[in-house]
A and B are shown apart, each in its own frame.
Chain A
Amino acid sequence: MDHDFAITLDVGSSAANHTGSWRTFRPEYVRRLPPCNAACPAGEDIQGWLSFAEAGDYEAAWRALTQNNPLPAVMGRVCYHPCETACNRGAIDAAVGVNAVEHFLGDMALAKGWKFTPPGHKTCTKVLVVGAGPAGLSAAYHLALLGHAVTIKEAGPAPGGMMRFGIPKYRLPRDVLDAEVARICDLGVRIEYNQKVSDLQATMAEGGFDAAFLAVGAHIAKRAYIPAGEATKILDAVQVLASMEGEEKPLLGRRVVVYGGGNTALDVARTAKRLGAEEAIIVYRRTREKMPAHDFELEEALEEGVMLKWLSTIKHVAAGSITVEKMTLDETGFPQPTGEFETLEADSVVLALGQDVDLSLLDGVPGLEIENGVVKVGPDMMTGASGVFAGGDMAPSERTVTVAVGHGKKAARAIDAFLRGGIYTPGPKHELASFERLNSWYYGEAPQTVRPTLEIARRSSTFEEVVRGLDESTALYEARRCLSCGNCFECDNCYGVCPDNAVIKLGPGQGFKFNYDFCKGCGLCASECPCGAIAMAPEEI
Chain B
Amino acid sequence: MLKQIEGSHAMAEAIALCRPEVICAYPITPQTHIVEGVGELVKSGALQNCEFINVESEFAALSVAIGASAAGARVYTATASQGLLFMAEAVYNAAGLGLPIVMTLGNRAIGAPINIWNDHSDAMSMRDAGWIQLFAENNQEAVDLHIIAFRLAEELSMPAMVCVDGFILTHAFERVDIPDQAQVDSFLPPYDPVQVLDPENPASIGAMVGPEAFTEVRFLAHYKQRQALRLIPEFCEDFAKTFGRAAGGLLRPYRTDDAETIVVAMGSVVGTIKDVIDEMRDAGEKIGAVALVSYRPFPVEALRDILKHAKHVVVVEKCISVGVGGPLADNTDGALRNLRDRPKLHSAIAGLGGRPITRESLKKLFHDAVHAPWIGPFFLDLNERVVGREIHRGRKVRRAGSTAENILKQLALASHLPPG
Hey, which bits of chain A sit against chain B, CB under 8 A? 1-11
Contacts A2-B194, A4-B98, A5-B220 hold; do A11 and B213 have CB atoms under 8 A apart? no
Q: How far is the CA of A143 from the CA of B220 in the complex (A)?
A: 82
Report the bound CA distance from A8 to B157 in whole Å: 14
A8 to chain B, nearest CB (A): 5
Q: Are B213 and A9 in contact (CB under 8 A)?
A: no
Knowing A6-B209, A7-B96 touch, does A1 contact B220 (C-beta < 8 A)? Answer: no
- Judge whether B5 is part of the interface by a CB distance below 8 angstroms: no
Nearest CB on B from A34, distance (A): 46
A-B contact pairs, 16 of them (CB 8 A): A1-B196, A1-B201, A1-B203, A2-B195, A3-B195, A3-B203, A4-B157, A4-B195, A6-B209, A6-B213, A6-B217, A7-B217, A8-B195, A8-B205, A9-B203, A11-B203
Smallest CB-CB A-B distances: 9 pairs: A6-B213, A9-B204, A6-B209, A11-B202, A1-B201, A8-B205, A9-B207, A6-B217, A8-B203
Query: In this assembly, does B97 line the interface, its C-beta being within 8 Å of a C-beta of chain A?
Result: yes
Q: Are B194 and A7 in contact (CB under 8 A)?
A: no
Task: Collect the chain B residues with CB atoms within 8 Å of residue A3's CB.
Answer: 195, 203
The reply to whether the CB of B388 lies closer than 8 angstroms to some CB of chain A is no
Which single residue of chain A is at the shortest CB-CB distance from B204? Answer: A9
Contact A6 B195, CB 8 Å, known A11-B202, A11-B203, A11-B204: no
Bound CA span A247–B146, Å: 115
9 additional contacts, CB 8 Å, given A6-B216, A9-B204, A11-B203? A1-B198, A1-B203, A5-B220, A6-B207, A7-B98, A7-B217, A8-B195, A9-B207, A10-B203
Given the complex, which residues of B lie within 8 Å of A7, measured CB to CB? 96-98, 205-207, 209, 217
Give the interface of B toward A (CB within 8 A).
96-98, 157, 194-196, 198, 201-207, 209, 213-214, 216-217, 220
Give the secondary structure class of B's interface: loop
Please report the C-alpha to C-alpha distance between residue A5 and residue B157 in the assembled complex, in whole angstroms.
13
Which residues of chain B are within 8 angstroms of A2 by Cβ–Cβ distance?
194-195
User: Are A5 and B207 neighbours in the complex by a CB distance under 8 Å?
Assistant: no
Contacts of A9 in B (CB 8 A): 203-204, 207
Q: Which residue of A lies closest to B214 (CB)?
A: A6
Find B217's partner among A1, A5, A10, A11 (CB 8 Å cutoff): A5
Residues in A with CB closer than 8 Å to B157 are 4
Give A2 to B195 CA distance when docked, in angstroms. Answer: 6
Minimal Cβ-Cβ distance residue in A for B205: A8
CB neighbours (8 Å) of B195 from chain A are 1-4, 8
> Given the complex of chains A and B, what is the CA–CA distance between A5 and B195 in angstroms?
11
- Tell me the minimal C-beta distance from B93 to chain A in angstroms: 11
Task: Tell which of A1, A5, A8, A10 touches B213, judged by Cβ atoms closer than 8 Å.
Answer: A5
Looking at the complex, which one of B198, B207, B214, B220 makes contact with A8 (CB distance below 8 Å)? Answer: B207
Contact partner of A5 (CB less than 8 A), chosen from B198, B206, B216, is B216
Report the bound CA distance from A4 to B209 in whole Å. 12
- Which residues of A lie under 8 Å from residue B206 when comparing CB positions? 7-8
A9 to B205, CA, bound (A): 7
